[in-house]
């Protein structure tokens, strides 16, 4: 048994606090955007899922994320979001914007989602 196993959802709080802009609940089956059932925790920056082996802990974390306002998204919405980010970055780079200006714009865009 692993002694460092995380069993308290508060230890995952970065998902809905300081890293909130990068983590969403991605609906992998169905289209009910009011329930975390059939959702995975997904990083929209690196396009990876967070795997939590303990089902009860995973459920608690998803509930915390939903309660904190983390969006529940369909795969089709995620694709659209990726395209918005890519388009914004390309346009801002072409306009000669600094990395700081691009990061600020990306933050504002993610706040709207």
Q: What residue ranges do the domains of the chain occupy? A: 9-112
pLDDT tens across 37-95, in order? Answer: 899 999 988 888 898 888 899 999 999 999 999 999 988 887 666 666 777 777 888 89
Can you give the pLDDT at residue 3? 38
User: What are 101's two structure tokens?
Assistant: 């200006």
The Cα 87–Cα 105 span in angstroms is: 12
pTM as predicted? 0.64
Considering only residues 3 and 82, tell me which one the structure prediction assigns the higher pLDDT. 82
Can you give the pLDDT at residue 10? 82
Residue 111 C-alpha from the chain's centroid? 12
């Amino acid at each position: 048994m692993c002694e460092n196993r995380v069993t308290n959802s508060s230890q995952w709080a970065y998902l809905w606090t300081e890293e909130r802009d990068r983590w969403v609940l991605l609906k992998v089956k169905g289209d009910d955007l009011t329930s975390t059932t059939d959702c995975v925790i997904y990083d929209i920056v690196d396009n990876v899922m967070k795997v939590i082996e303990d089902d009860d802990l995973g459920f608690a974390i998803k509930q915390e994320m939903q309660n904190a306002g983390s969006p529940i998204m369909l795969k089709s919405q995620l694709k659209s979001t990726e395209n918005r980010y890519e388009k914004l970055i390309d346009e801002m780079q072409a306009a000669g914007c600094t990395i700081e200006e691009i990061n600020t714009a990306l933050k504002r865009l993610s706040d709207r989602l």
